Amino acid sequence: MSPVTEVLYETGIVPRIRWFVATGGGAGDITVTGINLGDKLSLVLNLTDSADLTSEFSITAADTINNDGGTATTGDALLVCYFDNPNAP
C-alpha cells in the first residue's frame, strides 16, 4: 500500500483512483475536471511522448493542476491519475 493510501485509510477515507485525459498547453494551469484541493496527484503522463511530468505538477484549485515554469505540453494529451478524497472541499 502506498504512503498516500495508508494516510487516507488511517483517517477513515477510502480513496478512489480517478483518471482524466487533459488537453496540454503552455506551462501553467491545465484543466482537470473533477479534481479538487485535498485530492492526491498520482501521475501526470504526457501521452504524446510518454514523459512522466508528475513532479512538475500540483493541484492548485478545483478542476486545475499547475506546472508554472515547467514543461509546455501544447498540442499534447495528458493522462492525469489521482486519489479522489471524498472529504475534499
pLDDT digits (tens, 9 = 90+) for 39-56: 999 999 999 999 999 999
**56 part of a folded domain:** yes
For 25, the domain range is: 3-84
pTM value is 0.82
Can you say whether the dihedral through the CA atoms of 52, 64, 19, 84 is positive or negative?
positive
Asked if residue 41 is part of any domain, the answer here is yes
Q: How many structural domains comprise the chain?
A: 1
* Closest to 29 measured CA to CA, from 62, 52, 55, 7: 62
Q: What average pLDDT score do residues 22-39 get? A: 96
Q: Which of 40, 54, 30, 24 is nearest to 82 (CA)?
A: 40
What is the number of helices (H) and of strands (E) in the chain?
A: 1, 7
